Amino acid sequence: MHRSMLQLLLLVCSACLFAGCITIPVSDNSRDKREVIQKMKNDTLQELYTVHPQSKSRIQNAEGYAVFSNVGANIIYFSLGGGWGVAHDNKTGKEYYMKMVYGGIGPGFGVKDFRGIFVFKSLQAFDHFKENGWVAGLAGDAVAKSDAKGGGTGGAISVAPDIDLYQLTKNGLAIQATIQGSKYYLDTDLN
Q: What is the pLDDT of residue 61?
A: 96
> CB-side exposure of 164: number of CA atoms within 13 Å?
15
Q: Return the biggest CA–CA distance within the chain.
A: 48
Rg (the chain; Cα; Å): 16
**Rounded-to-integer distance, Cα 26 and Cα 61, Å:** 33
Q: Which residue has the higher pLDDT, 155 or 78?
A: 78
Domain ranges of the chain: 2-186
SS3 call for 148: coil
**pLDDT for residue 67:** 97
pLDDT at res. 105: 83
Calculate the average pLDDT of the chain. 78
- Is-contact 105 8, C-beta < 8 A? yes
Judge whether 95 and 66 are in contact, CB under 8 Å. Answer: no
